[in-house]
Structure 1
């Protein structure tokens, strides 16, 4: 999602349905404030979190939101869906304008999902260049052996994309469960990697994204705000 930047005169003209010439007159008469500072330039750049007042009328007042959701199975990582409940539907009592998912999970996967209205933050978190480690607990139909570990560490050729996956870490827990840690997120990547061994994934649960770890006290379907430390470790 792209951060919504633009000119103050364009914003006010659209918001109040008046000509830009009228906006310039308001600015000349010190009637426009952005973040409690009088605007003197019509081309001042604003974003979706700028606090905008015109003639003592609040035109925009939005706070940044950062939510952790323990996504249950059967919920889609989307804001709107006609067939399934969405992750955003579960965020009751929240201002849902501009909310989007930072790092999706498919409908049958569970665990940590991050939801925000801060596009700059989510881009910094999920950008391939950031190489943020994501950790998953995987349950498999068949037993795991040593060759899996080596294959994940070496990377696998994905013919459809024409790429070799980055090295990933596979840590067996039991004969049929493992932790997978990777720094990318190709389409159904984990399922496709185990698919090379004809071993179907029957459970996929995301435990962490970087330093943000799924709260063990958060039941499936519940959410909470991220702490300041969880938000601030993401470098923008």
Structure 2
């Protein structure tokens, strides 16, 4: 999702259904303000979080929102779906205006899902240059051993995309469980990597994204707002 930037005169003209000439008159008569500051030119840039006031009336006032959801199986990582319950459907009582999912999980995967209305934040989170680590607990149908570790560390050739995956860290926890850490997120990447060993993934559970860990107190389908530290961890650690 892209941050919605644009000119103040275009926004006000559309919002009030008036010609842009009238907007310029409002500016000249010192009746238009952005974030408490008087607008001086018609081409002043705004975004979806700008506080816009005209003649004492608020035309736009939107707060940034950041949520973590403990996604259950059978819930689709989408804003709208005609067949399945969506992640946004679970955010009961929350203003869903401009909310989108930052880093999806497939239908049967579970765990940490991040939802926000801040497009710039989610872009920093998901951009390949940011190299934010995502950690997953994986349960396999067949036994695994140390040979998997080297294969994941070397990266794997994905013919469909024509790329070799970045090195991934695999830690064997038991015969049928492993912890996988990735800095990218190709389509069904973990399932495809284990598929090279003809070993189907039975369960895939995301535990963390960067320094944001799934809250142990959240039951399946429950959510909470991110803390200030969690929000800023993405801004600090992302390199874009």
Q: Same fold (TM over 0.5)?
A: yes
SS in 1 for 2:70: strand
What residue in structure 2 maps to residue 135 of structure 1?
135
CA shift at 1:146, angstroms? 1.4
What residue in structure 1 maps to residue 70 of structure 2?
70
What residue in structure 1 maps to residue 213 of structure 2?
213
Q: Distance in 1 between matches of 2:203 and 2:232?
A: 31
Q: Distance in 2 between matches of 1:199 and 1:63?
A: 45
Q: Distance in 2 between matches of 1:34 and 1:137?
A: 46
**1:186-229 C-alpha deviation (Å, 9 max, x unpaired):** 00000000000000001000000000000011101000000000
What residue in structure 1 maps to residue 95 of structure 2?
95
Q: Distance in 2 between matches of 1:228 and 1:146?
A: 39
- Within a 5 Å distance, the mapping from 1:194-209 to structure 2 comes to 194-209=194-209
Q: Distance in 1 between matches of 2:34 and 2:101?
A: 28
- Within a 5 Å distance, the mapping from 1:127-166 to structure 2 comes to 127-166=127-166
What residue in structure 1 maps to residue 168 of structure 2?
168
- Within a 5 Å distance, the mapping from 1:39-118 to structure 2 comes to 39-118=39-118
What residue in structure 1 maps to residue 229 of structure 2?
229
Q: Distance in 2 between matches of 1:231 and 1:87?
A: 20
Q: Distance in 2 between matches of 1:234 and 1:44?
A: 28
Q: Distance in 2 between matches of 1:64 and 1:215?
A: 21
CA shift at 1:233, angstroms? 1.4
Q: Distance in 2 between matches of 1:159 and 1:107?
A: 24
What residue in structure 1 maps to residue 28 of structure 2?
28
**1:10-39 C-alpha deviation (Å, 9 max, x unpaired):** 000011111000000011111111101111
- Count of matched residue pairs: 236
SS in 2 for 1:24: helix
- Kindly indicate whether the alpha-carbon contact (under 8 Å) linking 2:146 and 2:172 is maintained by their aligned counterparts in 1: no
SS in 1 for 2:83: coil
What residue in structure 1 maps to residue 123 of structure 2?
123
Q: Distance in 1 between matches of 2:94 and 2:217?
A: 21
Normalised TM-score (structure 2): 0.97
- Kindly indicate whether the alpha-carbon contact (under 8 Å) linking 2:156 and 2:193 is maintained by their aligned counterparts in 1: yes
What residue in structure 1 maps to residue 3 of structure 2?
3
Aligned-CA RMSD value = 0.7
Moved over 6 A (4+): none
SS in 1 for 2:125: helix
- Structure 1: runs of 5+ lacking an equivalent: none
CA shift at 1:170, angstroms? 0.5
